[in-house]
Structure formats: structure tokens, C-alpha cells
Structure 1
Amino acid sequence: MGRPERVPVLPPAGARDGRPVVIVTGALAPYTHVLYERLAERLDRPLHVLSCTKRESARQWVVEAPRLFRHEVLPGLRWHRDAVRNLYVNPAVVTRLAALRPAALVLNDFSPTMLMAAGFARLRRIPYLIRTDGVPETDPGQRSAPHRWLRRAIVAGARAGIGPSLGSARLLALYGVAPERFATSPLFPAWSPAGPPPPDAERPYDVLFCGILNEEVKGARFFTDVILACAARGRRLRVRVAGDGPLRAEMEARLAAAEIEAQFDGYLTQAALPAVYASSRLFLFPSRGDVWGIVVHEALQSGTPVLASPHSGIARELLEGHLCGEVRPLDIEAWVTGTLDLLDNTERRAALREAARSALPRFTADVAAQGYVEALGAILKA
């Protein structure tokens, strides 16, 4: 549980007048910081963001101070259950919303804090959007009655839904948001490469893994199994692993025992990521259940082709939807064959890069902010 934090007194909203739009979210992330800056540019009223926690325990990123929107962290209780699951109880959300008098709310995902905010909005007749990255395949509401009740209670008063994918639309539809009331706001990386991607001859590594080093979500042990199986076929690949987590020591020991050259970077800042993604010829993403997977987007914009499992939103809707990556089931032999085939096929990698260049303009900060503008405009005019 986190300690309660003192709620700062916010300065006046500034040049833009009118009741603000307020976003209630778990924690600011680098990409949501960019999104909210772009959204604040487009709104005709102030934008305030209330976070349930300063930073999720499994995240090491540093987020810049906002320029165009107001941000504060609510006091309350935080339970970081694991790398991807967090529970927030912030009763102060009610008093802050009462003080801010929002014209509209955006509630990010499902927690007791969002339920309290939804209850306040319904009592004061404030329209709100419910936003989720979730998809039916990873939704705990499909297996747990308390999670299902929480989702239904929050969604019941929402004017519309918003999310990054068709999977998110399907999830919200299960709880009552009609498809015509869903707006798409894609996810995107918080950074862009400074220049064109380097050629393969300038990339010292064969394969890259980037993410939390666990098995239950990210498939880090499966990744290691694939690398060892490639070695058993006579190909000792040059490996780079960016990120940290409970399996790091195991991965390092297994690869070292097989005499496989591997660079383990640990957690990296956003500024270090462009060089990391551009250092490998292939990115492996053996996800066991990511709602999206921004690391895949980061690899693609760096000119690094991707081999992914089907268990993520980005694999289904970007890689398969736009034919810009390879998607294979989590079978060791299939991944060994896929990895070696892609490394040996220059033409195929070039084709995937070209397909990614055509698809990625649909997944940008500007497109994401426009989705919010249209959704908020509709409920503010209703």
C-alpha cells in the first residue's frame, strides 16, 4: 500500500476559460503525457489529470512535468499486485472533482477510485467517458464476479467508450457500450527516431527482447527457450535484452551456460531506447497476454521487423491487420523456424519494414488526441 500524499493546490487554469475536462487515471506514463499535451492543445477549455499514484511499482520511467495540462496525484491506498495489476482506492477523488467542477470526465479503466468518480459524476449529472486498453481475452471480469460487477457499475453511467483497439470496443460492448458509442484513440510510442533506421550491417545484434522479464505476461522464459533451441540447431545468435524482472538471473545463467553472447541492459530511460531498438535485426515479442504492446510499435518505427505471438492487441490489429509483422503461436519449433527464416531472408525483412512505414501513420499522438476530441465533443454537446 502507498502512503497518502498531500494534495497540492492547483494554480488557476490559465488563459482558457470554462469548466475543465478532467481525466482520472492510474498513473502518468510517457505516452499518456504526450497524449494529454496534444489533447490540451486542441481543447477549448482547461485539462486536468488526476492520478491514483505517482508511478506504478513495476515501472521505472520518468515523466516530464506537464506544460499544457494540470496534474496532481491523489492521496489514497495503492496495492500493486504484480507487474500489470494494480488496485487503487482514492476517496479524495470526490473532493477534488467537487472543487474542479468538470464539464466532462474521462475515467481510465476500472478500480474503486473510478467507481467513486463515476458515482460523483452521475450524482452531479456530469457526462463521462470510460476508457480501457483491455480486451476480452485478458479481462478479469470474464472470470471474476467482483470484477464483473465493478465494470458494469462504472460503464452503466458512461455516455460513451474510448480505447485503442477493436478488442477494447468488444470488451466495453460486453458491459453495455454500444459500438456506435465507441471512439478509437490508438496507442503510440512516447518518442520517435531522430533519423532513418540504420541498415542491418550496422546492427550488432540478431534478436532483441524488451520488457519486464517475467513469464506469465511477457514470455521471457519462452524467449530464452527459443534462443537455446536456435543454438541447438547450430545458430548461436547475438542477443540483447532490455528490461528487468524476476527472470533476469535465470536468463543470464542459461544463456551464459550455452555460450551465447547476450547483452542485458536492465531498465533504460526513454532517451536510451532509440539506439537499443536500432541495434538489432529482429524483435521477438512472445507475449502471453498484453492488452496492446507499445514495444512492438517502438521496434517497427526503428525499422526492426517483429515476430510476435497472437496474444496482444498490437499483434492482431497492427501486425496481422496491416501485414507488417510475423505472428505465430507460442510453439518453440515454430518460433525457431520463424526467427531463423526472418534472419536469413533480407527481402522479407525489407517488405515488413515497408508495410510498417505505410501502417504507422494511423497510430500517432495526433490521431489519438483527435479520438478524444471527437468523443468529448459529442458528450459535451449532448
Structure 2
Amino acid sequence: MGRPERMPAMSAATAHARRPVVVVTGALAPYTHVLYERLAERLDRPLHVLSCTPRETARQWVVEAPLLFRHAVLPGLRWHRDAVRNLYVNPAVVPRLAALDPAVIVLNDFSPTMLMAAGYARLRRIPYLIRTDGVPETDPGQRSVPHRWLRRAIVSGARGGIGPSAGSARLLALYGITPERFATSPLFPAWSPAGPPPPDSERPYDVLFCGILNEEVKGARFFTEVVLGCAARGRRLSVRVAGDGPLRAEMEARFAEAGIAARFDGYLTQAALPAVYASARLFLFPSRGDVWGIVVHEALQSGTPVLASPHSGIARDLVAAQGCGAVRDLDTQAWIDATLTLLDDASRRAALREAASRALAAYTPEAAVQGYLDGLRPVLAAGT
């Protein structure tokens, strides 16, 4: 009996092509779920997503089970410091990466878990990219030595960077990612309006606030002061507040005392959001430090003009840069003036809607996926 036939040896290029892309992130969000599904559809290899936590404490969204990518939550330590700051320590990321043997890793932002993953990648000579929403204005690395060290340690070994804006490119450039190694992958809402935005005559509320009801990040108390200031000038606005948080009881009491009609929805599902954004004539976003601010994008795509503070990535890089909303420093009187002026100027609101419609054409899932592919392609090609 002859020897059994041997299978031909797999070429190095073929073996590399079968190794997956692995994304390490804090937690899945509705928009990243859409992004990863579409990215998995475009990749020529499996896509695995490893999350540090099932869900951030301040987030109430529900994310569907993935269809095209594979998702796992890493065990470990999770410290949710406040509405936007979370610290993750997940040593399990190392054996998980070892089991997956990725061709390339994408690290989402900065944490001890990302440092462990970067260290493993460098030890095993696996290329990795660093992705961040951050901008220099909100980067703790500009003020804190430990944060700065963490960022330098992670970025120093990265082959390139991915981010949603010019601000993200500026931030990564501070830590060594040159512009030619940066790929833009814009943020986008997880949902799109079912039809054209309704006219103002079908919008029962003057102003809308959407987000966590705190002051240190979202400016909910500042929003309250603006509404009360409008009332002091003889204009009691109809108000809608979507979201929840520590200031809800205070806001409800102050509006009731002033005789202001205010609807508080609490946390809402993604399915409920289109109707909420389309119910107001003006969206107020008095952020004190949002890295981006996807709620502004959701308002704009709903045909709702925006008045925003300059303290978010979207206010600087979209609203102000594209002239599709009003941006004012966090001065109460200036916001009262701007709110009343915009509510009284229908032609101005119409012009802002048109500008937003043009600007948002560049912020799509397709553009976001293309940014990832632009970042991944040279790294994957170098490994074949």
C-alpha cells in the first residue's frame, strides 16, 4: 500500500489571508455595530471585535447581536468614572489575541487594556492601528502625565491611525502619527430618518435637549438657565428633554416652578429617536467637553437646527466649519439671545437645514468603512 497523499503546503500569503482583523474596543454602540457589520462585509477575512465591557454604565442603548462579525466581551476590571470616562483593565485580551492570531489589530482609544494589547502585538510582531475620537482640546494627555505616558506608549508602536475628524488627526500627530499615516473614518448615526423632515408647523416643541442630565459634561443645568432666561424675557418655551441623569429632578422642579411646559422622556430606544428629534424647532447642545457629539448629527439629519457650544468635535469640525448651525461660547445671555433669534427667524433655520443636508453627505457608513479599509489595506498588503 502506498503512502497517503500529502496536502500541498499552504503558502505564507494564503495563511496570512485567513488570519482575522481584530478590533479591541470599550463597548459596542449602535453606530459601531453598523460599522462593523459593513466592514465585515467588505473584508476578505474574518472580523472579530473584543469589548472591554458589555455596556458602559451611562449608556442605556440596546445593541443587536452581530450577523457578519464575531463579538466577545473580555472579563476584567471596569471602572466607570463618570458619564464619559471609563477605565478598563482586561488581562484576558492577551490570551484571546493569542488564540485568534490576527493579521492586524485595531485598538480603540486608550486604556490599560489597549496597552496590554499593544504590548502583545509588538512582542509577536503583529501590526496594529490606533483609532480615537479624541481631539487635542479634550485630550487628558495634554494635562496629565500618566495619560500622556499611556498614549505615547500605545501610539509609538502603531503603524497608523484612524479617526473621525481633523481634530483626531491633530491629536494623533501630537503623539507621532504623521498625516500620511492617518485615515479619516467619519462618525454617523446608527439610524436614518424614514422620510423628509416635517415642517416647523408640525413640531410641537420649541427646544430639545438630548443626553445625560449632568452639568460637568453635558451642560444640563446651563440648558435650564437658558430656558429660564428666555422666560424672564417674556418667552415661555415649550421644552422636550430626552435622557436621564442626576439633574433630572432639579430640572423638572425648576421648570414647573417657572410655569414652563416641559416633557421629560427619560432614556429612549433607538427606534424612538427619529420622532423625538423631529418634534422640536431647535436643538440646544451646551456641551462642556464632548469628544464628538453624535446627538448633534442626529438632530441635523432630522432637519432640526442646532445651537452648540464650541466644546465638542462636531461643533468645531462640522457645525462651525460647514456653517450648518450656530456655535456660541457658554455665556448664558449670549445663548438666550441666540435661542430667541433662531426661533424667530424661520428663513435662517431653513438655510441651516440646507447647509446641514449638504455637509452630512460626507458622514455616512460607507465613508466610515472606507476609512477603515484605507487604514488597513497597506498594513495587510505588507504582511502578504
1:75 aligns with 2:75: yes
Name the SS of the counterpart of 1:354 in structure 2: helix
Equivalent pair of 1:141/1:147 in contact (CA under 8 Å): yes
Residue 347 of structure 2 aligns with an amino acid whose one-letter code is E
1:358 aligns with 2:352: no
Q: Deviations over 1:40-63 (max 9, x none)?
A: 111111100000000000000000
Residue 262 of structure 2 aligns with an amino acid whose one-letter code is A
Deviation at 1:380, TM superposition (A): 1.4
Aligned equivalents of 1:88, 1:329: Cα separation in 2: 33
Residue 293 of structure 2 aligns with an amino acid whose one-letter code is G
Aligned equivalents of 2:200, 2:96: Cα separation in 1: 52
| Aligned match of 1:225 | 225
TM-score normalized with structure 1 length: 0.95
| Aligned match of 1:26 | 26
| Aligned match of 1:304 | 304
Question: RMSD of the alignment, in Å?
Answer: 0.9
Aligned equivalents of 1:379, 1:190: Cα separation in 2: 28
Name the SS of the counterpart of 1:48 in structure 2: strand
| Aligned match of 2:84 | 84
Alignment of 1:24-103 (within 5 A): 24-103=24-103
Deviation at 1:137, TM superposition (A): 1.1
Name the SS of the counterpart of 1:87 in structure 2: strand
Alignment of 1:328-343 (within 5 A): 328-343=328-343
Alignment of 1:1-382 (within 5 A): 18-382=18-382
Deviation at 1:138, TM superposition (A): 1.1
Deviation at 1:143, TM superposition (A): 1.2
Residue 89 of structure 1 aligns with an amino acid whose one-letter code is V
| Aligned match of 2:10 | none
Q: Deviations over 1:41-88 (max 9, x none)?
A: 111111000000000000000000001000000011101111101000
Aligned equivalents of 1:308, 1:82: Cα separation in 2: 22
Aligned equivalents of 1:136, 1:350: Cα separation in 2: 33
Aligned equivalents of 2:64, 2:85: Cα separation in 1: 24
| Aligned match of 1:6 | none
Aligned equivalents of 2:147, 2:328: Cα separation in 1: 31
Please, which runs of 5 or more residues in structure 1 have no aligned partner?
1-15
Name the SS of the counterpart of 1:67 in structure 2: coil
Aligned equivalents of 1:75, 1:294: Cα separation in 2: 28
Equivalent pair of 1:183/1:375 in contact (CA under 8 Å): yes
Residue 58 of structure 1 aligns with an amino acid whose one-letter code is A
Deviation at 1:179, TM superposition (A): 1.4
Deviation at 1:26, TM superposition (A): 0.3
Aligned equivalents of 2:353, 2:82: Cα separation in 1: 34
Aligned equivalents of 1:211, 1:80: Cα separation in 2: 17
Name the SS of the counterpart of 1:281 in structure 2: strand
Q: Deviations over 1:323-375 (max 9, x none)?
A: 11011111111101100111010100000000111110101111001000111
Residue 368 of structure 2 aligns with an amino acid whose one-letter code is A
User: Who wins on radius of gyration, i.e. which is larger?
Assistant: 2
Residue 205 of structure 1 aligns with an amino acid whose one-letter code is Y
Residue 70 of structure 1 aligns with an amino acid whose one-letter code is R
Tell me the percent identity: 83
Equivalent pair of 1:118/1:157 in contact (CA under 8 Å): yes
Aligned equivalents of 1:112, 1:331: Cα separation in 2: 37
Name the SS of the counterpart of 1:105 in structure 2: strand
| Aligned match of 1:8 | none
Aligned equivalents of 1:378, 1:284: Cα separation in 2: 42
Aligned equivalents of 1:322, 1:136: Cα separation in 2: 20
Aligned equivalents of 1:285, 1:359: Cα separation in 2: 18
Aligned equivalents of 2:236, 2:193: Cα separation in 1: 29
Deviation at 1:243, TM superposition (A): 0.3
Aligned equivalents of 1:111, 1:366: Cα separation in 2: 28
Residue 54 of structure 2 aligns with an amino acid whose one-letter code is K
Aligned equivalents of 2:126, 2:68: Cα separation in 1: 23
Aligned equivalents of 1:240, 1:273: Cα separation in 2: 12
Deviation at 1:17, TM superposition (A): 6.5
Aligned equivalents of 1:378, 1:306: Cα separation in 2: 39
Aligned equivalents of 2:17, 2:315: Cα separation in 1: 42
Aligned equivalents of 1:331, 1:52: Cα separation in 2: 38
Structure 1: 4+ residue segments shifted above 6 A: none
Q: Deviations over 1:112-153 (max 9, x none)?
A: 100000011111111110001111111111111111111100
Name the SS of the counterpart of 1:192 in structure 2: coil
Deviation at 1:381, TM superposition (A): 1.8
Residue 49 of structure 1 aligns with an amino acid whose one-letter code is V
